[in-house]
C-alpha cells in the first residue's frame, strides 16, 4: 500500500511541487524570521559587550517622570556626585558623561538626518580612550565645535571644516565640524546610532538643559573588586535617589530593547508566514481534492481489491506528509537564506554596521519549520482524504461522470462558520474581549475567511457565469466560461486564495482611507486655523521649532492671532499623562472651538489646568478641584482645575492643557505645532512665504494650509501601505500558484476534451484563449470576493473605532479598481503555463482511448 | 512486397476528382531500435468520393493508425497522404487544424462530446470554432435524419450512449466535410443503437453523397459499407465491394488461416 502511494506520488511530481510551493513560502517566512532575529540578536550581543566593556558600574539619576517616553533625558546626576563616587573604596575611576538622544543634525541638503529607530545621541566628548577613535580632524575643544561619528557624517554629507546645524533642546545652533570618529573594531556606528559630540558644558546645556549635571557616571572598579560588589556598595552609599547598575545589567537591558525593536521585523515576517500558510492550506486542499477526484477509478479499484477505508485515508495522508516534509526542508533552507539575506541588508543598507559574524540557526527555526510545514499540509489534506475513503468500490466498474455534489451541507457549514467568525470579530472589535481581544480579532478574521471560502462555491456558479458573459463573444471565451463554472468548489477554493490576500489588503486600505477621510472632515469642520505649522509625525522625537518664530510671525501684517502648542509627559496624581501647553488658550478656543462645560476656558492663570470631560469624570474632578502635577524638570506642584471642556470637541489638543509658563519645566521647551488665524482679506500665500522664511532654521516643520496639513499628517500611512503592498505581492504570488495549479490539473483532467476540440478544428491560439478566459474569470471572481469581504471587514473595524474618531467610512475606489485590473493581469499570467500545455496537447494521444 | 491493392476500375488515376482521400505507400514506424514497431508497411489505398468504406482487420493490424494518418492527426514515416487533391503530408499545425476544421469530420468510439455543452451546441461546435454560420435548412435536415429533434437542449450526461453517438454523427455531418472518419463508432453500443447509427451513416452517404471511412471489428457493421478494406500486419490484404456480413466473415477467416497469400479483390 505504502509502495503504491509513493509510486503514485512520484508520477505526479509537478502538481505536488506546485501545491507544496505555498507551504515552502510559509515555512520560509517562519524560519527566516527566527534566523534573522537570532542572528541579529547574537551580533548585537557581541557589539554591546564591547560597548560596555569599559563600564563596570554606572550611576544615573532617577527620572521624575516615569513611563511613557524614554525617561533618560530628564534624569540627571549632579557633577559633585562624581567626587563622592571617586571617594568610595574600590572605585578606580569615575567619569561623568552626557549621552542623551535628541541631537538632530541638519544635513548638507538642509534636511534633518532621519533615523529608522536607532538613537540620535548628543554626547560629551570624553577623549578617544576606550571606544571612540578619531578618523579625521581633531577633538572638539571650543563651545562651537563638534565631532560626529562616521556614519552620521556620511548620511549628512558633511566633512571636517563644514559648518553644521544641530537641533537639540534648543533651536538650531551652528557648529564647526572639527572631527569625525569611529569606534573600536573599525565601526562607523554602534548599531546604527548617530552621535554628535560637544565639549562637556555645551553637551550639558543642550542635551540636559543646564550645566553642572551629567546623565550618568561611569565607574571602573579597582582590580580585584567585582562589579556586583561595587554596585551594592555604591547604591548603599548613594541612597535610592540614584540608579546603580553593572555594565552587564546595562548590556542586558540594551540587548532586551534591541530584541524588542527586532520583534517588529519578527512579527512582520510571521504575519507574512501566516498569510502564506493560510492561503497555502486552500491550495493544498484543492490539489488533493482534484487528485482524489481524478483518481476515483484507481482508488475504487484499490477498494475493490480489498483496501480498507483507513488505508485510503492513510494513502492520501502519507502523500500529504511526504509533501509537507519536503516543503519544510525546502522552506527551512530558503528561510535560512532569507534570514541571512535580511541580516546582510540590515547591516549594509540599514547602515546599522552590525558585525554579523555568523548566521545563527536556532532550534526554534528548525522545529517550527517542520511543525508548521507538515501540520498545515496534513490538515489541508484531511478533507480530501476522507472523501477518498468514501469512494465506493463499484466506481471502478462503471464510468461515473462525477455527479455534482449537493452544496447544501457545505453552504450550511460555511454560514455557521462565518457566523462564528463574525461574532468573534464583533466581540473583539467592540472591546468586550478584554485580554483575548487580539486573539479574538485574528481568530475571527481567519474563521470568517474559512467560512466565506466554504460559502463561495454556492455563489461561484452564478457569479462566474455572469463574469464569463464578458468573454462570451468568442467560442473559446464561451468554452472557458463554461469550464470555470463547471466545478464550483474547485473554482471557489482557487479564488479563495486570491480572496484572502486581497481582502486583507483592502481591509487595511479601507481603515486607512477612512482614517484620512475622518481626519480630513474633522480638520475641515473643526479647525478654524488658516495656516498650520507642523512636522511629520513619527520618529524618535517630536518635531519642534524655535519658539521665537511665534513672536516674529505675530508681527507679520495680516496675521490676526497665532497659538503655539507644546507637548510633554507629566505625572498627574502619580500617573504619567500627556500634557499640552498652548500659548493663548482664548485664541485656541477660537481656532479649535472647545465647548465649556464647567468653569472657564477664557483665561488660564498660573498653576491652573483645563481638562476634557472624559478625564475629569474618570478622576472625579470638577472646576476648582486640585491635583498633583510633576513636570519633567520641576518639582511636584499643586494645580487647580480652571475649566472642563466637552470631550466630543476634542480634535487633537486632547486631555490636559497647562498654562504657558509650565513650558519652562517641559523636557523640550519648543513648540510642536503653531496655529494661525489671518485677518479678512489677508494674502495667505504671501504670509505663508514669510513664515517659511522664519522657519528656515527649523527644518523639521513646515507651514501650510489645512489641506497641506492633512496631507502631511496622513503621510505616516505611507509606511503602513508599503508593508501592505509587500503583503499584496506575496498573496498574489501564492494566488498565482493556486490558479496555475488548478488550471494545470484541470487541463490534465480534460486532456481528451482538449484533444477532441483540437480534432474538430480548435486552433492552438484558441485553446490558449479558452484557458486564459477560465483563469481570468477565476481570478476576477476571487478579486471581487476579496474586495467585498475586505471592504466589509474594514468598514466593521472603522465602525468599531467610531469612538476613536473614525467618523467616516471611506472606500479606496481607485486602489480597488487597480486591484481588479491586477487580478485580470494575474489571471492571464497564471494561465500562460497551463495554456501552453493545453495548446500542446497531442490530439492523437488525447483521443486514442486508454 | 507480397500485397497488391486493386481499386475499382479507374481508381488508379491520380488527382481523380472522385477520390476523397488517398494513401500512397504509407509507412508508419513507432519507436526506434529494438522496440521498433511498423504499424503500417507500405499501404496504398484510394477512398472514393461519396463512398462508405469500412476498414477491418485483427487487433493491432494498423486500422486506427491508418485512419489517423489519413485524417492528418498523425504524421507518416514514409509515403504521402492526400485529402481531396491536397497533400497532407508535411503540413504544419495551423494548416492541419484548418484541414480538420473544414475538410474532415470525426466520430470516435467514446468521449465524443463536450460535457459542458448541450447537444445542439455540440453539433454546431465545429462551425462556431470556424466562425461559420450554420445552414439552417441543412441543420434541420441533419437533425431530422438523426432523430434528435426533442433532445437538442440536453447535455451529454442526459443522453444515452446511442443518442450521444448520433449527436457526434450530426456534428461530423453538419459541417459537410470532404471525409468523415469514424473509429469503431458502434464499438460501445448495443446492436440496436449500433444499427441506428450505422443506418444513419449509410443514409448520409446515399442521400447526401457524404464520404465516410469507418474502422470496425463487426462484420455486420461492415456490411453497411460500399467497400471493405482488410488490413493485417500493417498491409492491405484484401478488399470486398458491396459486402454482406457473411462475405466479410469468410474473408476474415481466410485471412486468419492463410495470412500470407490471400491478396485478392473479391466482388460479392
Ligand atoms: N503510439 C504508439 N507507439 C508505439 N506503437 C504503437 C503506437 N500506436 C500503435 N502502436 C502499434 O501499432 C500497431 C497498430 O496499432 P493500431 O492502433 O493501429 O491497431 P488497430 O488495428 O487499430 O487495433 P485495434 O483493433 O485493437 O484498435 C500495434 O502493434 C500497436 O502496438
Ligand atoms: Mg484501433
Quickly state the pLDDT bin for B226 (edges 50, 70, 90): very high
| Mean pLDDT, chain A, integer | 81
Task: Express as a percent the part of chain A with pLDDT over 70.
Answer: 89
Q: For residue A312, what are the contacts with CB-CB under 8 A and spacing of at least 6?
A: A299, A302, A303, A385, A388, A389, A391
Indicate if the pLDDT at residue A467 is higher than 50: yes
Rounded Cα distance, A735 and A785, in Å: 13
CA B37 / ligand 1 centre spacing (Å): 9
Q: How far is C-alpha B125 from the chain's CA centre?
A: 20
Question: Is A213:A124 a contact under the CB 8 Å cutoff?
Answer: no
CA-proximal residue: ligand 1, atom 5 (nearest)? B30
Q: What does the pLDDT read at residue A352?
A: 53
Task: Express as a percent the part of chain B with pLDDT over 70.
Answer: 89
Kindly report, residue by residue over A560-600, the tens digit of the pLDDT: 899 998 888 888 888 888 888 888 888 888 887 778 888 88
Query: What is the pLDDT averaged over residues A687-691?
Result: 88
Query: What is the pLDDT averaged over residues A328-353?
Result: 77
Q: What does the pLDDT read at residue B4?
A: 39
Query: What is the pLDDT averaged over residues A654-679?
Result: 86
| Residue owning grid cell 542635551 | A207
Angle (CA) A408 A409 A410, round 5°? 90
Q: How many helices (H) and strands (E) does chain A have?
A: 24, 24
Rounded Cα distance, A395 and A567, in Å: 76
* SS3 state of residue A560: strand
Q: What does the pLDDT read at residue A65?
A: 63
Radius of gyration of chain B (CA): 18
Q: How many helices (H) and strands (E) does chain B have?
A: 8, 11
Indicate if the pLDDT at residue A344 is higher than 90: no
* Secondary structure element (H or E) that encloses residue B87, with its range: strand B86-87
Kindly report, residue by residue over A93-118, the tens digit of the pLDDT: 888 888 888 888 998 888 888 776 67
Indicate if the pLDDT at residue A393 is higher than 60: yes
How many CA atoms are closer than 13 Å to the CA of A563, on its beta-carbon side? 23
Question: Is A573:A604 a contact under the CB 8 Å cutoff?
Answer: no
Query: What is the pLDDT averaged over residues A149-169?
Result: 90
Quickly state the pLDDT bin for A306 (edges 50, 70, 90): low
User: Looking at A324-328, A689-693, B261-265, which range is the least confident one?
Assistant: B261-265
User: Looking at A341-345, A371-375, A506-510, B76-80, which range is the least confident one?
Assistant: A341-345
Q: For residue B196, what are the contacts with CB-CB under 8 A and spacing of at least 6?
A: B147, B162, B166
Q: What does the pLDDT read at residue A654?
A: 64
Higher pLDDT, A214 or A44: A214
Quickly state the pLDDT bin for A405 (edges 50, 70, 90): low
Which residue from A486, A844, A849 is facing B73, i.e. has the nearest CB?
A844
Q: How far is C-alpha B240 from the chain's CA centre?
A: 16
Q: What does the pLDDT read at residue A70?
A: 42
Quickly state the pLDDT bin for A5 (edges 50, 70, 90): low
**Nearest by Cα to B69 from B265, B231, B185:** B231
**Nearest by Cα to A195 from A209, A179, A208:** A179
DSSP notation for A97-135: E-EEE--EEE-TTSSBPP-SSS-EEEEE---SSSSEEEE
CA dihedral A167, A171, A173, A177 (to 10 degrees): 0
Rounded Cα distance, A401 and A297, in Å: 11
Q: Sign (positive/negative) of CA torsion A557, A563, A567, A571?
A: positive
**Which CATH number does the domain housing residue B180 bear?**
3.40.50.300
Kindly report, residue by residue over B30-69, the tens digit of the pLDDT: 887 787 889 999 999 999 899 999 999 998 899 988 988 8
Query: What is the pLDDT averaged over residues B8-29?
Result: 69
Query: What is the pLDDT averaged over residues A15-36?
Result: 78
**Nearest by Cα to A21 from A370, A384, A276:** A276
Domain holding B88, by residue range, is 2-267
Quickly state the pLDDT bin for B229 (edges 50, 70, 90): very high
User: Looking at A304-308, A337-341, A655-659, B216-220, which range is the least confident one?
Assistant: A304-308
User: Looking at A485-499, A630-644, A810-824, which range is the least confident one?
Assistant: A485-499
* Secondary structure element (H or E) that encloses residue B68, with its range: helix B63-70
Range with top average pLDDT, A180-194, A273-287, A330-344, A716-730: A330-344
DSSP notation for A343-366: HHHHHHTS-------S----HHHH
Please report, in angstroms and rounded to a whole number, the separation of the first and last CA atoms in chain B: 26
Query: Which stretches of chain B sit within 8 Å of chain A by CB?
Result: 64, 68, 73-74, 93-94, 97-98, 100-102, 105-106, 108-117, 125-126, 128-131, 157, 171
Query: What is the pLDDT averaged over residues A489-512?
Result: 84
Contact at CB, A847 and B108, closer than 8 angstroms: yes
Rounded Cα distance, B213 and B172, in Å: 12
- Chain B residues with CB-CB distance to A490 below 8 A: none
Indicate if the pLDDT at residue A79 is higher than 70: yes
Rounded Cα distance, A26 and A269, in Å: 10
Quickly state the pLDDT bin for B262 (edges 50, 70, 90): very low
Distances (CA, A) of A488 to A422, A457, A504, A599: 24, 5, 23, 67
| Residue owning grid cell 493544498 | A284
User: Looking at A224-238, A326-340, A379-393, which range is the least confident one?
Assistant: A379-393
**Nearest by Cα to A642 from A594, A577, A675, A674:** A594
Contact at CB, B130 and A479, closer than 8 angstroms: no
Question: Is B26:B81 a contact under the CB 8 Å cutoff?
Answer: yes
Contact at CB, A486 and B97, closer than 8 angstroms: no
Question: Is A155:A353 a contact under the CB 8 Å cutoff?
Answer: no
Contact at CB, A847 and B98, closer than 8 angstroms: no
Q: Is A137 left (phi over 0), alpha (psi -120 to 50) or beta?
A: left
Q: What does the pLDDT read at residue A464?
A: 81
Q: Is B149 left (phi over 0), alpha (psi -120 to 50) or beta?
A: alpha
Q: What does the pLDDT read at residue A145?
A: 93
Rounded Cα distance, A110 and A165, in Å: 9
Instruction: Please tell me the number of the ligand nearest to residue B65's CA.
Output: 1
Q: What does the pLDDT read at residue A197?
A: 93
Rounded Cα distance, A292 and A286, in Å: 10
Indicate if the pLDDT at residue A538 is higher than 70: no
| Residue owning grid cell 487633537 | A652
Q: Minimal Cα–Cα distance from B214 to chain A, Å? A: 15
Q: What does the pLDDT read at residue A679?
A: 86
Q: Indicate whether residue B67 lines ligand 1 (CB < 6 A).
A: no
Indicate if the pLDDT at residue B81 is higher than 90: yes
Angle (CA) A407 A413 A419, round 5°? 130
Rounded Cα distance, A253 and A251, in Å: 5
Q: Which of B64, B70, B234 to mutate to test the pocket of ligand 1 (most atoms within 8 A of CB)?
A: B64
* Secondary structure element (H or E) that encloses residue A458, with its range: helix A437-469
- Own/partner contacts of B57-60, CB < 8 Å, gap of 24 or more, are B57/B230, B57/B231, B57/B232, B57/B237, B57/B255, B58/B232, B58/B255, B58/B256, B59/B217
Question: Is B114:B156 a contact under the CB 8 Å cutoff?
Answer: yes
User: Looking at A25-39, A681-695, B214-228, which range is the least confident one?
Assistant: A25-39
Q: What does the pLDDT read at residue B9?
A: 42
Q: What does the pLDDT read at residue B6?
A: 41
* Whole-structure pTM value: 0.72
Higher pLDDT, A348 or A441: A441
Q: What does the pLDDT read at residue A229?
A: 87
Instruction: Please tell me the number of the ligand nearest to residue B55's CA.
Output: 1
Q: What does the pLDDT read at residue A401?
A: 44
DSSP notation for A246-274: EHHHHHHHHHHHHHHHHHHHHHHHHHHHH
Range with top average pLDDT, A136-145, A498-507, B33-42: A136-145
Q: For residue B195, what are the contacts with CB-CB under 8 A and spacing of at least 6?
A: none
Task: Express as a percent the part of chain A with pLDDT over 90.
Answer: 6
Q: What does the pLDDT read at residue A557?
A: 83
Q: A515: buried, middle or exposed (CB in 10 Å: 19+, 13-18, 0-12)?
A: buried
Provide φ and ψ at A335, rounded to 5°.
-65, -40
Listed residues: CB within 5 A of ion ligand 2: B 64
CA-proximal residue: ligand 1, atom 28 (nearest)? B60
Output the nine-digit C-alpha cell for A104: 538632530
Strand partners, A218: A58, A95
Output the nine-digit C-alpha cell for A526: 473643526
Quickly state the pLDDT bin for A400 (edges 50, 70, 90): very low
Q: What does the pLDDT read at residue B3?
A: 39
Indicate if the pLDDT at residue A394 is higher than 70: no
Q: Indicate whether residue B161 lines ligand 1 (CB < 6 A).
A: no
Indicate if the pLDDT at residue B15 is higher than 60: no
Rounded Cα distance, A294 and A402, in Å: 10
Kindly report, residue by residue over A792-826, the tens digit of the pLDDT: 888 888 887 777 777 788 888 888 898 899 889 98
CB atoms within 10 A of CB B217: 15
Indicate if the pLDDT at residue A402 is higher than 70: no
CA A850 / ligand 2 centre spacing (Å): 11
Q: What does the pLDDT read at residue A647?
A: 65
Mode of pairing for the β-strands spanning A559-572 and A120-124: unpaired
Longest C-alpha distance within chain A, in Å?
A: 103
* SS3 state of residue A470: coil
Mode of pairing for the β-strands spanning B211-215 and B179-183: parallel
Query: What is the pLDDT averaged over residues A472-496?
Result: 80
CA B184 / ligand 1 centre spacing (Å): 14
| Residue owning grid cell 482664548 | A586
Indicate if the pLDDT at residue A51 is higher than 70: yes
Q: What does the pLDDT read at residue A66?
A: 58
Mode of pairing for the β-strands spanning A596-599 and A636-645: antiparallel
Quickly state the pLDDT bin for A146 (edges 50, 70, 90): very high
Radius of gyration of chain A (CA): 33
Provide φ and ψ at B231, rounded to 5°.
-110, 145
Q: How many domains does chain B have?
A: 1
User: Looking at A34-38, A265-269, B86-90, which range is the least confident one?
Assistant: A265-269
Indicate if the pLDDT at residue B206 is higher than 80: yes
Q: What does the pLDDT read at residue A826?
A: 86
Amino acid at each position: 500500500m505504502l509502495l503504491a502511494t509513493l509510486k503514485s506520488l512520484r508520477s505526479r511530481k509537478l502538481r505536488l511541487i506546485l501545491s507544496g510551493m505555498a507551504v515552502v513560502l510559509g515555512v520560509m517566512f517562519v524560519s527566516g524570521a527566527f534566523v534573522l532575529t537570532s542572528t541579529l540578536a547574537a551580533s548585537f550581543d557581541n557589539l554591546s559587550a564591547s560597548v560596555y566593556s569599559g563600564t563596570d558600574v554606572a550611576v544615573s539619576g532617577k527620572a521624575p517622570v516615569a513611563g511613557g517616553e524614554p525617561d533618560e533625558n530628564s534624569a540627571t546626576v549632579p557633577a559633585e556626585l562624581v567626587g563622592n563616587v571617586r571617594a568610595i573604596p574600590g572605585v578606580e575611576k569615575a567619569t561623568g558623561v552626557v549621552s542623551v538622544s535628541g541631537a538632530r543634525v541638519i544635513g548638507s541638503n538642509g534636511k534633518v538626518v532621519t533615523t529608522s529607530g536607532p538613537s540620535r545621541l548628543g554626547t560629551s566628548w570624553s577623549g578617544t580612550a576606550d571606544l571612540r577613535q578619531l578618523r579625521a580632524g581633531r577633538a572638539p575643544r571650543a563651545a562651537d565645535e563638534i565631532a560626529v561619528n562616521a556614519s552620521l557624517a556620511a548620511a549628512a554629507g558633511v566633512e571636517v571644516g563644514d559648518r553644521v546645524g544641530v537641533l537639540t533642546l534648543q533651536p538650531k545652533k551652528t557648529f564647526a565640524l572639527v572631527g569625525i570618529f569611529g569606534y573600536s573594531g573599525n565601526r562607523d556606528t554602534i548599531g546604527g546610532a548617530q552621535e554628535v559630540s560637544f565639549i562637556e558644558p555645551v553637551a550639558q546645556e543642550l542635551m540636559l538643559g543646564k550645566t553642572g549635571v551629567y546623565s550618568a557616571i561611569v565607574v571602573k572598579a579597582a582590580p580585584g573588586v567585582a562589579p556586583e560588589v561595587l554596585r551594592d556598595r555604591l547604591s548603599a552609599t548613594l541612597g535610592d535617589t540614584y540608579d546603580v547598575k553593572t555594565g552587564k545589567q546595562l548590556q542586558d537591558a540594551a540587548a532586551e530593547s534591541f530584541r524588542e525593536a527586532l520583534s517588529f521585523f519578527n512579527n512582520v515576517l510571521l504575519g507574512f508566514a501566516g498569510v502564506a500558510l493560510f492561503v497555502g492550506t486552500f491550495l493544498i486542499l484543492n490539489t488533493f481534492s482534484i487528485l482524489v477526484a481524478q483518481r476515483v477509478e484507481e482508488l475504487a479499484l484499490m477498494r475493490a481489491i480489498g483496501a480498507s477505508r483507513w488505508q485510503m485515508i492513510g494513502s492520501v495522508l502519507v502523500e500529504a506528509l511526504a509533501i509537507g516534509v519536503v516543503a519544510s526542508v525546502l522552506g527551512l533552507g530558503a528561510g535560512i537564506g532569507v534570514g541571512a539575506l535580511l541580516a546582510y541588508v540590515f547591516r549594509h543598507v540599514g547602515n546599522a554596521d552590525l558585525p554579523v559574524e555568523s548566521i545563527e540557526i536556532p532550534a526554534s527555526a528548525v522545529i517550527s519549520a517542520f511543525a508548521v510545514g507538515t501540520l498545515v499540509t496534513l490538515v489541508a489534506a484531511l478533507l480530501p482524504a476522507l472523501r477518498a475513503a468514501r469512494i465506493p468500490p463499484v466506481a471502478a466498474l462503471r464510468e461515473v461522470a462525477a455527479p455534482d455534489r449537493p452544496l447544501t451541507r457545505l453552504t450550511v457549514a460555511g454560514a455557521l462558520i462565518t457566523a462564528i467568525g463574525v461574532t468573534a470579530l464583533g466581540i473583539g472589535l467592540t472591546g468586550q474581549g478584554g485580554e483575548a481581544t487580539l486573539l479574538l480579532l485574528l481568530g475571527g478574521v481567519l474563521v470568517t475567511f474559512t467560512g466565506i471560502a466554504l460559502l463561495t462555491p454556492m455563489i461561484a456558479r452564478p457569479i462566474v457565469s455572469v463574469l464569463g458573459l464578458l468573454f462570451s463573444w468568442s467560442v473559446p471565451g464561451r468554452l472557458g466560461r463554461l469550464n470555470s463554472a463547471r466545478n464550483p468548489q474547485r473554482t471557489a477554493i482557487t479564488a479563495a486564495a486570491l480572496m484572502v490576500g486581497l481582502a486583507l489588503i483592502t481591509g487595511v486600505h479601507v481603515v486607512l482611507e477612512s482614517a484620512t477621510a475622518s481626519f480630513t472632515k474633522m480638520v475641515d469642520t473643526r479647525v478654524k486655523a488658516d495656516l498650520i505649522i507642523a512636522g511629520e509625525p513619527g520618529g524618535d522625537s517630536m518635531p519642534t521649532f524655535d519658539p521665537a518664530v511665534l513672536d516674529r510671525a505675530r508681527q507679520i501684517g495680516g496675521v490676526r492671532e497665532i497659538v503655539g502648542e507644546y507637548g510633554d509627559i507629566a505625572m498627574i496624581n502619580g500617573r504619567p499623562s500627556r500634557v499640552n501647553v498652548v500659548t493663548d488658550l482664548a485664541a485656541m478656543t477660537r481656532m479649535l472651538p472647545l465647548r465649556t462645560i464647567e468653569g472657564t476656558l477664557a483665561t488660564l492663570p498660573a498653576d491652573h489646568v483645563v481638562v476634557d470631560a472624559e478625564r475629569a469624570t474618570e478622576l472625579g474632578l470638577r472646576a476648582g478641584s486640585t491635583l498633583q502635577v510633576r513636570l519633567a524638570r520641576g518639582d511636584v506642584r499643586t494645580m487647580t482645575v480652571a475649566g472642563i471642556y466637552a470631550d466630543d470637541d476634542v480634535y487633537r489638543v486632547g486631555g490636559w492643557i497647562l498654562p504657558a509658563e509650565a513650558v519652562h519645566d517641559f523636557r523640550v521647551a519648543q513648540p510642536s505645532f503653531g496655529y494661525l488665524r489671518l485677518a479678512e482679506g489677508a494674502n495667505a500665500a504671501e504670509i505663508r512665504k514669510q513664515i517659511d522664511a522664519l522657519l528656515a532654521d527649523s527644518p523639521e516643520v513646515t507651514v501650510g494650509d489645512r489641506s497641506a496639513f492633512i496631507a502631511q499628517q496622513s503621510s505616516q500611512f505611507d509606511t503602513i501601505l508599503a508593508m501592505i503592498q509587500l503583503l499584496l505581492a506575496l498573496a498574489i504570488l501564492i494566488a498565482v500558484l493556486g490558479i496555475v495549479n488548478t488550471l494545470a490539473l484541470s487541463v490534465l483532467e480534460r486532456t481528451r476534451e482538449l484533444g477532441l476540440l483540437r480534432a474538430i478544428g480548435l486552433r492552438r491560439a484558441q485553446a490558449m484563449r479558452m484557458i486564459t478566459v477560465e483563469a481570468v474569470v477565476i481570478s476576477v471572481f476571487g478579486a471581487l470576493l476579496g474586495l467585498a469581504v475586505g471592504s466589509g471587514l474594514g468598514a466593521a473595524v472603522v465602525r468599531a473605532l467610531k469612538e476613536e474618531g473614525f467618523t467616516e467610512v471611506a472606500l479606496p475606489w481607485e486602489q480597488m479598481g487597480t486591484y481588479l485590473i491586477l487580478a485580470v493581469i494575474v489571471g492571464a499570467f497564471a494561465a500562460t503555463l497551463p495554456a501552453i500545455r493545453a495548446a500542446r496537447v497531442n490530439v492523437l494521444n488525447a483521443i486514442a482511448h486508454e | 512486397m507480397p500485397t497488391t491493392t486493386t481499386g475499382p476500375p479507374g481508381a488508379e488515376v491520380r488527382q481523380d476528382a472522385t477520390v476523397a482521400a488517398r494513401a500512397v505507400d504509407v509507412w508508419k514506424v513507432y519507436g526506434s531500435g529494438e522496440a521498433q514497431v511498423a504499424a503500417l508497411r507500405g499501404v496504398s489505398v484510394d477512398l472514393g468520393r461519396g463512398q462508405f468504406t469500412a476498414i477491418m482487420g485483427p487487433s493491432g493490424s494498423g486500422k486506427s493508425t491508418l485512419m489517423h494518418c489519413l485524417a492528418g492527426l498523425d504524421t507518416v514515416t514514409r509515403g504521402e497522404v492526400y485529402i481531396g487533391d491536397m497533400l497532407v503530408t508535411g503540413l504544419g499545425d495551423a494548416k492541419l487544424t484548418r484541414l480538420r476544421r473544414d475538410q474532415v469530420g470525426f466520430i470516435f468510439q467514446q468521449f465524443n462530446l463536450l460535457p459542458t455543452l448541450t447537444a445542439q451546441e455540440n453539433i454546431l461546435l465545429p462551425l462556431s470554432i470556424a466562425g461559420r454560420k450554420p445552414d439552417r435548412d441543412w441543420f434541420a435536415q441533419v437533425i431530422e435524419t438523426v432523430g434528435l429533434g426533442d433532445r437538442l437542449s440536453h447535455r451529454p450526461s442526459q443522453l444515452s450512449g446511442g443518442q450521444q453517438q448520433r449527436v457526434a454523427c450530426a456534428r461530423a455531418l453538419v459541417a459537410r466535410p470532404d471525409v468523415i472518419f469514424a473509429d469503431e463508432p458502434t464499438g460501445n453500443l448495443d446492436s440496436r443503437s449500433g444499427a441506428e447509427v450505422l443506418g444513419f451513416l449509410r443514409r448520409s452517404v446515399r442521400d447526401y453523397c457524404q464520404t465516410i471511412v469507418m474502422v470496425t471489428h463487426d462484420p455486420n457493421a461492415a456490411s453497411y459499407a460500399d467497400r471493405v478494406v482488410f488490413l493485417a500486419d500493417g498491409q492491405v490484404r484484401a478488399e470486398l465491394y458491396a459486402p454482406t456480413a457473411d462475405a466479410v466473415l469468410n474473408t476474415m477467416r481466410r485471412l486468419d488461416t492463410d495470412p500470407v497469400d490471400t491478396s485478392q479483390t473479391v466482388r460479392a
